[in-house]
Amino acid sequence: MIRNAFKMKLKAGFEAEYQKRHDEIWPELASELTKAGVSDYSIFLDEENLTLFAVQKLTDDNSGDLLPENPIVKKWWSYMADIMEVNPDNSPVSIPLKEVFHQS
């Protein structure tokens, strides 16, 4: 199992909307994440600076690298683009984080 963490940035004033959209995550998106080997996926919000911190587990044989090409993922990115910092293709600006400690 691989642990993966990254950060993203929420635009000011969209905290409640971000929460609402994730409370109503599309079943087809959740299914695609599971099929790609993503599990135990959480996103936390630092309300002081609007940084989103995401952590997920990936199976050793995951296909997470293929998710950016998935039409459902692309549709979700477009749906979220108005409330997050995004790249030109609407993917969230995502910065990988280095694990420096883990206790299981």
The pLDDT of residue 104 is: 87
d(CA 13, CA 64): 30
Q: Is residue 86 part of a domain?
A: yes
Q: Is residue 103 part of a domain?
A: no
Q: Is residue 61 part of a domain?
A: yes
CATH number at residue 34: 3.30.70.100
d(CA 87, CA 27): 25
Q: Return the sign of the alpha-carbon dihedral for residues 15, 39, 24, 85.
A: positive
Catalytic status, residue 22: yes
Other Cβ atoms within 10 Å of 8 Cβ, number? 20
Q: Is residue 104 part of a domain?
A: no
Number of domains in the chain: 1
Q: Is residue 21 part of a domain?
A: yes
pLDDT, tens only, 55-94: 999 999 999 999 999 999 999 999 999 999 999 999 999 9
Among candidate residues 3, 20, 22, 35, the one labeled active-site is: 22
d(CA 1, CA 18): 28
Q: Which domain holds residue 22?
A: 2-96
Q: Is residue 18 part of a domain?
A: yes
